[in-house]
Amino acid sequence: MSNILVFIEQRDGKILPASFQLLALATKLTSATGGQTEACVVGDSVSGLTDTIASYGAKKVYTVEDAGLSRYVASQYTTALSAVIEATSPKVVLVPTTAMGRDLASRTAARKHAALAIDCTELTLEGGDLMATKTTYAGKLSAKFKLSSAGLQIATVRSNVYAANEPIAGASAEIQAVDVTFSDHDQRLTCTEVASTSSGVKDVTEADIVVSGGRALKSEEKFKIIYDLAEMLDGAVGASRAACDAGYQPHTRQVGLTGKVVTPKLYIACGIDGAIQHLAGMRGSKVIVAINTKQDAPIFKVATYGCVIDLFTLVPLVTAELERLKG
Ligand SMILES: Cc1cc2nc3c(=O)[nH]c(=O)nc-3n(C[C@H](O)[C@H](O)[C@H](O)COP(=O)(O)OP(=O)(O)OC[C@H]3O[C@@H](n4cnc5c(N)ncnc54)[C@H](O)[C@@H]3O)c2cc1C
């Protein structure tokens, strides 16, 4: 196998942590085959990000800069990534599984006639073939796919299934700016405004501590006790799908198979039963604390610590105690 190109997802100059995780994966795969880990970053003004990208393992970084690329526009980003692919001819392109990543990978695969696997939970090399593992049947099965090595192979990989390497200060990479001329076709659509749907609280995929609530919270207002605890721990708020479907929390906070995958240092599940689809999103957490009134709730099977108690009693007590300890 030759080089692996990682698409670095960034917004307003902030790199998505999943991009660093993919650099670690690419480095692992290329070290077994002798190829090189390369990266591609696209945006309005992204050359200042190349040192950071190099510190996470990229040996060569391609930049595509244009004022029109400050926000994601599908056709322009597809043209930009395609131009980098033409410049470097990688064997494999890795993209984070995000809304942007899914869209960009699919469009680029169509344009470059590449083999494509979306939302992989594992990528391995078997006899030179790239094997992609994906979950199926609501997480009950995992299926392995062989991507045709006849041409380019593109895979999107879920956040947090691979850990990022520690950054190496002072690591350097070869930098190459790629000039791209956009056609009228590319410019049919421009993004004029991005309205944030986030409440300013950390995203679940980026926090070391996640406090999640389930259907047991019963309303959006009662989720306040989850927010209070998360804030005290400097963590993020997550939710089960049942809680999101009921409107207690936005789906951006959903953890699980059809939500986000998290691997924080501490995951506190409050009033969450532990359905297999929820476990698919959090069972990789280092320490799991479950609070549930039902002694045989499945969440206790994966919990490091289990508390059989009403969450409305325990959660405010823990928050108050933390507040007292913090003085
Ligand atoms: C294709 C598919 C994809 C799915 N994807 C996801 C996904 O991504 N994420 C996800 O979460 N689910 C997902 N689900 C749904 C999943 O199967 C469950 O229905 C859901 O996780 C249940 O959420 P819950 O645990 O909050 O609710 P419930 O199952 O209603 O459990 C509530 C829990 O709270 C406990 N409880 C009640 N009152 C209290 C209290 N006062 N104090 C403490 N504990 C209390 C109960 O004992 C119970 O264990 C998916 C399902 C399908 C079919």
Q: 100 CA to middle of ligand 1, Å? A: 28
Specify if 255 maps to a domain: yes
Q: Are 160 and 45 found together in one domain?
A: yes
238 domain-assigned: yes
Q: Where are the beta strands (DSSP E) in the chain?
A: 4-8, 10-11, 14-15, 37-43, 60-65, 92-96, 115-120, 122-126, 129-136, 141-147, 153-157, 174-177, 209-213, 236-239, 266-270, 287-292, 305-308
Neighbours of 202 (CB within 10 A): 17
Residues 28, 143 within the same domain: yes
End-to-end CA distance of the chain: 57
Query: Is the model's pLDDT at 1 over the cut of 60?
Result: no
Ligand 1 atom 19: residue of nearest CA: 242
Pocket lining: 297 vs ligand 1, CB cutoff 6 Å: yes
Q: Indicate whether 42 and 183 sit together in one domain.
A: yes
Read off the pLDDT of residues 234-267 as tens digits, 9 standing for 90 and up.
999 999 999 999 999 999 999 998 899 898 999 9
Question: Residue 283 — left, alpha, or beta (φ > 0 → left; ψ -120 to 50 → alpha)?
Answer: alpha
Q: Is the CB of 218 under 6 A from ligand 1?
A: no
Q: Let me know whether 140 and 287 are in one domain.
A: no
Residue closest by Cα to atom 2 of ligand 1: 138
Same domain? For 144 and 212 the reply is no
Instruction: Decide whether any atom of ligand 1 lies within 6 Å of the 101 Cβ.
Output: no
Q: Is the CB of 133 under 6 A from ligand 1?
A: no
What pLDDT is stored for residue 314 in this prediction?
98
Residues 170 and 246 occupy one common structural domain: no
pLDDT averaged over every residue in the chain: 93
Instruction: Assess if residue 230 is contained within a domain.
Output: yes
User: Residue 278 falls within a domain, yes or no?
Assistant: yes
Reply yes or no on whether the pLDDT at 196 is more than 70.
Answer: no
More confident residue, 327 or 170: 170
Which atom number of ligand 1 is nearest to the Cα of residue 258? Answer: 8
Let me know whether 130 and 210 are in one domain.
Answer: no
Instruction: Quote the domain boundaries for residue 265.
Output: 204-326
Question: CATH number of the domain that 267 lies in?
Answer: 3.40.50.1220
One-character DSSP codes across 70-97: SS--HHHHHHHHHHHHHHH--SEEEEES
Which residue, judged by its Cα, is nearest atom 30 of ligand 1?
215
Alpha-carbon distance of 169 to 40, in angstroms, equals 20
Q: What is the CATH number of the domain that holds 118?
A: 3.40.50.620
Domain membership of residue 198 (yes or no) is no
The length of the chain in residues reads: 327
Residues 258 and 165 both lie in one domain:
no
The pair of structure tokens assigned to 301 is 């099977």
Task: Kindly state whether residue 113 falls inside one of the protein's structural domains.
Answer: yes
Q: Is 204 helix (H, G, I), strand (E, B) or coil?
A: helix
Cut 0.85: pTM above it: no
Are 93 and 174 found together in one domain? yes
Residue 77 resides in a domain: yes
Distance 239 CA to ligand 1 centre (A): 9
Q: Which residue has the tokens 């690329």?
A: 69
Tally the domains of the chain: 2
Last residue of a domain, one of 156, 188, 220: 188
Residue 194 domain flag? no
52 and 182 co-located in one domain: yes
From CA 276, how far away is CA 13, in angstroms rounded?
36
> Quick one: 174 and 310 in the same domain?
no
Quote the pLDDT of residue 32: 84
How much distance in Å is there from the Cα of 240 to the middle of ligand 1? 6
**Claim to verify: residue 44 and residue 153 sit in the same structural domain:** yes
Distance between Cα 215 and ligand 1 center (Å): 6
229 φ, ψ to 5°?
Answer: -70, -45
Tokens 């595509």: give the residue.
Answer: 64
Residue 252 CB less than 6 A away from ligand 1 = no
What's the confidence (pLDDT) of residue 195?
A: 72
Q: 133, 160, 188 — which closes off a domain?
A: 188
Report percent pLDDT > 90 for the chain: 79
Q: Based on the number of CB atoms within 10 Å of its own CB, is 169 exposed (0-12), middle (13-18) or buried (19 or more)?
A: exposed
Q: Are the CB atoms for 6 and 23 separated by under 8 Å?
A: yes
Q: Is the pLDDT assigned to residue 201 strictly greater than 90?
A: no
Last residue of a domain, one of 188, 223, 256: 188
